[in-house]
Amino acid sequence: MATDTSPPTAPTTRGGVEASRYVQPEVDVPALTALLDGEYAEVRGLVRANLAEHAHILDQAETLTRAEFRERVKEVVVEMAATGQTGMGFPEEYGGGGDIGASVSAFETLAYGDLSVLVKVGVQFGLFGGAILQLGTKQHHDAYLADLITGRLMGCFAMTETGHGSNVQALGTVATYDEATQEFVLTTHGKQARKDYIGNAAEHADVAVVFAQLEVGGSSKGVHAFVVPIRKNGEPCAGVGIEDDGAKMGLNGVDNGRLWFDGVRVPRAALLNRFADVTPDGVYESPIENPNRRFFTMLGTLVQGRVCVGGAGINAAKVALTIATKYAVRRRQFEASSDEQEELLLDYGLHQRRLFPLLARTYALHFAQEVVAGQLHDVFSGISDDEHHRRELESRAAGTKALGTWHATRTIQECREACGGAGYLSINRFAALKADTDVFTTFEGDNYVLLQLVAKGLLTDYSSDFEDLDQFGMVRFVAGMAVETVIERTSAHKLLERVKDLLPGGDDWDQAAGLLDSDYQLTMLRFREEHMLAGVARRLKRGIDQGLNPGVVFSRVQDHVIAAARAHVERLVLEAFVAKARSVPSGDLKVTLNLLCDLHGLSTIEADRAWFMEHGRLTVQRSKAISREVAALCRKIRPLAEDLVDAFDVPVEMLRAPDLIGG
């Protein structure tokens, strides 16, 4: 237990070097960019150059009508497809690049530019193309991939319905097998079952991958995907209804729409049959017997979209931070430290406090995103493709997407405010950034729903026997474990045993360890995570033991579930940053990364200090010492700040904002 006897200021050493011996590093901007760009620097460079070439689209988003802008976005997407940058994840034999990691890097970098272009690329190549590739077999690949990679064939991904977005298993569209004609008949039963918000549906898609409940011989086989022609020569196909979703809060260059089907017939081969098939005489076959598991396996193959949106959110935050930081080293308000001239905004402690923890977190999330993109590449390239790695990837993708997109929303807002009234002018980018990224928190999985997925994985330890359980099954599973197993699985006490070897101070590690010791910061986050998980498990178990309905139990514990999942992902993010900083050889680059990493670690603890104090891991003195250290780190980062945003290498054409960024 922590007491109030800790020294007023905890030692702040890193590797035995006193903080007072700190020498300000020089940031080698190209070297830092190279570190950020990583393995796919060349791909990112290609996308940056293409973005700069198409920079005019940022103006056109404001000057064209919605209809014109949609056409312009489509043109740009097709032009980009011709460079190969949008097809990098597809197999080479169909004209793709055969490199999944490259395709994620390309997509993330596109987020520096107009986000309607980004999302249309995501819809066409990620969602539509991804579904054909992952859920289809050779016949579908041969029929569609080459054309969709070049943009000759435009398609859409029609999963969500008006009535159901998050709960995909409850979709209402039905595909009934007609043995007599060997066709599937697609029908929309009522308004709630029409497809809604579907990108590319309102105008451009000729084909849709439609998710529907498959019925064979009067029995329901669950949700499956079908390739359905929806438009020919610009007109809806027979039996297909199409409606425009109209104006949206942002992303108005993407034509989102509704689709419904009135007895639309497609051949038997239209079923994307990698995981299940129907024989001509109407026998349903699947190598995966359990319907729940089949469903989750199918959805799991579509995880790339989630990884991409998380990365795009993080990169959109970089654009905002670049503009706000550049403005703050030019803009002056009030005499503060001199009578001669007014103070630069970035020399105000408050401005540093507002922007730098977000900057540090952006770096942290960047490196966490690099980890998940690497895992995605490894799993889908067959390098580490087993059940456990897939589960881990799905969980990590969900968590990073949630934190990355929430971070974008928060950072863009803070940066807009940091630019004052100027931030409100559309020319300065924030209007589009805010409006276009807002929905990143919702599509590709609502963030809160995703964090519940993360928690489920943690509570069941990614056990393949239990991963395919629904929420109630998961509650019953956790409740069915012996209390000791729950505590064992989520054990804060075991962590504390391990910590004693890692940190100085024995039982008093949380008072004795240096604040700038990344093991200390990581242990704090790990303690919070494990404590929260154990708490969730105990509460679930107690509720069931009291005879409550599992759904009610889960609902009551849900805020705790989300907090535990978030704590878990926060730990992974810090871990990724620490690992990256440790991997860099001694020198100025390492010092720079350590500053950012410490700022991220400590500001994360600071943000939840009430919890740490409530749980006896933070004394009042130490909590105050952390806040002092955060401020001190901000002062150290101040002279480096412009270099740190320059290292993101957002093409100057994409920053627009001529009056804000100078030059």
Task: Output the smallest distance, CB 105 to ligand FAD, in A.
Answer: 22
Nearer to ligand FAD, 563 or 655 (CB): 563
**Options 100-108, 313-321, 439-447, 616-624: segment touching ligand FAD (CB under 6 A):** 439-447
Q: Does 443 bind ligand FAD (CB under 6 A)?
A: yes
Q: Does 39 bind ligand FAD (CB under 6 A)?
A: no
Nearer to ligand FAD, 448 or 611 (CB): 448
**Options 66-74, 195-203, 234-242, 332-340: segment touching ligand FAD (CB under 6 A):** 195-203
> x/- site string to ligand FAD, residues 46 to 75, per CB under 6 A?
------------------------------
Q: How far is CA 21 from the centre of its chain?
A: 39
Distances 595 to 18, 20, 79, 487, 636 between C-alpha atoms, Å = 14, 14, 41, 36, 8
Q: Which of 510, 513, 516, 515 is nearest to 617 (CA)?
A: 510
List 112, 177, 184, 197, residue binding ligand FAD (CB under 6 A):
197
**Subset of residues 304 to 333 that bind ligand FAD, contact rule: CB under 6 A:** none
- Taking each helix axis as running N to C, give the angle between helix 550-583 and helix 518-545, from 0 to 180 degrees, rounded to the nearest 10: 170
**Options 29-37, 384-392, 442-450, 545-553: segment touching ligand FAD (CB under 6 A):** 442-450
Nearer to ligand FAD, 223 or 364 (CB): 223
Nearer to ligand FAD, 141 or 248 (CB): 248
Q: Does 406 bind ligand FAD (CB under 6 A)?
A: no
Q: Which of 514, 503, 515, 535 is nearest to 611 (CA)?
A: 535
H or E stretch covering 487:
helix 483-489
Pairing mode, if any, of strands 256-267 and 195-199? antiparallel
Nearer to ligand FAD, 252 or 428 (CB): 252
Determine the Cα–Cα distance for residues 424 and 444; give it in Å rounded to an integer: 28
**Options 25-33, 191-199, 303-311, 591-599: segment touching ligand FAD (CB under 6 A):** 191-199
Count H helices and E strands in the chain, helices first: 27, 14
Q: Does 213 bind ligand FAD (CB under 6 A)?
A: no
Task: Output the smallest distance, CB 555 to ligand FAD, in A.
Answer: 8
What sign for the dihedral angle of Cα 357, 359, 360, 361? Answer: positive
For 285, phi and psi rounded to 5 degrees? -130, 135
Q: Which of 26, 38, 63, 11 is nearest to 649 (CA)?
A: 38
Determine the Cα–Cα distance for residues 385 and 394; give it in Å rounded to an integer: 12
Nearer to ligand FAD, 242 or 602 (CB): 242
| DSSP-derived 3-state class of residue 646 | helix
Tell me the residue number closest to ligand FAD, measured at CB. Answer: 165
Distances 180 to 47, 176, 267, 280, 417 between C-alpha atoms, Å = 51, 12, 12, 9, 64
Q: Does 198 bind ligand FAD (CB under 6 A)?
A: yes
Nearer to ligand FAD, 179 or 470 (CB): 470
Task: Output the smallest distance, CB 104 to ligand FAD, in A.
Answer: 19
Task: Output the smallest distance, CB 110 to ligand FAD, in A.
Answer: 16
**Options 248-256, 269-277, 299-307, 651-659: segment touching ligand FAD (CB under 6 A):** 248-256
Determine the Cα–Cα distance for residues 288 and 286; give it in Å rounded to an integer: 5
Determine the Cα–Cα distance for residues 545 and 41; give it in Å rounded to an integer: 55
Nearer to ligand FAD, 296 or 443 (CB): 443
Q: Does 208 bind ligand FAD (CB under 6 A)?
A: no
Task: Output the smallest distance, CB 109 to ligand FAD, in A.
Answer: 21
Q: Does 251 bind ligand FAD (CB under 6 A)?
A: yes
Q: Does 650 bind ligand FAD (CB under 6 A)?
A: no
Q: How far apart are the first and last CA of the chain?
A: 55
Determine the Cα–Cα distance for residues 328 and 350; give it in Å rounded to an integer: 12
Nearer to ligand FAD, 159 or 660 (CB): 159
List 85, 105, 109, 256, residue binding ligand FAD (CB under 6 A):
256
Task: Output the smallest distance, CB 167 to ligand FAD, in A.
Answer: 7
CB 188 within 8 A of CB 208: no
**Options 137-145, 313-321, 438-446, 472-480: segment touching ligand FAD (CB under 6 A):** 438-446
Report the largest interatomic distance among the alpha carbons of the chain, rounded to a whole angstrom.
90
Q: Which of 183, 203, 175 is nearest to 259 (CA)?
A: 203
Determine the Cα–Cα distance for residues 292 and 471; give it in Å rounded to an integer: 12
How many residues are recorded in the chain?
663
Size of the site for ligand FAD (CB under 6 A): 20
Determine the Cα–Cα distance for residues 92 and 104; give it in Å rounded to an integer: 16
List 60, 137, 442, 621, residue binding ligand FAD (CB under 6 A):
442
Nearer to ligand FAD, 193 or 324 (CB): 193
For 278, phi and psi rounded to 5 degrees? -125, 125
Task: Output the smallest distance, CB 188 to ligand FAD, in A.
Answer: 14
Q: What single DSSP character describes residue 237?
A: P
Task: Output the smallest distance, CB 359 to ligand FAD, in A.
Answer: 28
Task: Output the smallest distance, CB 193 to ligand FAD, in A.
Answer: 13
**Subset of residues 447 to 476 that bind ligand FAD, contact rule: CB under 6 A:** 448-449
Token couple for 248: 């949206």
List 101, 151, 199, 550, residue binding ligand FAD (CB under 6 A):
199
Task: Output the smallest distance, CB 196 to ligand FAD, in A.
Answer: 7
As a dihedral over the C-alpha atoms of residue 171, residue 174, residue 175, residue 178, rounded to 10 degrees, the angle is: 160
Task: Output the smallest distance, CB 296 to ligand FAD, in A.
Answer: 16
Nearer to ligand FAD, 450 or 595 (CB): 450
Distances 331 to 328, 356, 642 between C-alpha atoms, Å = 5, 17, 13
> x/- site string to ligand FAD, residues 128 to 167, per CB under 6 A?
-----------------------------xxxx----xx-
- The residues facing 241 across adjacent strands are 260
Determine the Cα–Cα distance for residues 475 and 553; give it in Å rounded to an integer: 8
**Options 53-61, 176-184, 196-204, 409-417: segment touching ligand FAD (CB under 6 A):** 196-204
Amino acid in position 206:
D
Task: Output the smallest distance, CB 225 to ligand FAD, in A.
Answer: 11
Determine the Cα–Cα distance for residues 313 and 322; give it in Å rounded to an integer: 14
CB 148 within 8 A of CB 78: no
List 43, 102, 121, 123, residue binding ligand FAD (CB under 6 A):
123
Q: Does 446 bind ligand FAD (CB under 6 A)?
A: yes
Task: Output the smallest distance, CB 254 to ligand FAD, in A.
Answer: 7
Determine the Cα–Cα distance for residues 304 and 300; give it in Å rounded to an integer: 9
Name 419's Cβ contacts closer than 8 Å, sequence gap at least 6.
323, 324, 327, 331, 428, 430, 660
Residues that bind ligand FAD (CB under 6 A): 123, 127, 157-160, 165-166, 197-199, 248, 251, 256, 439, 442-443, 446, 448-449
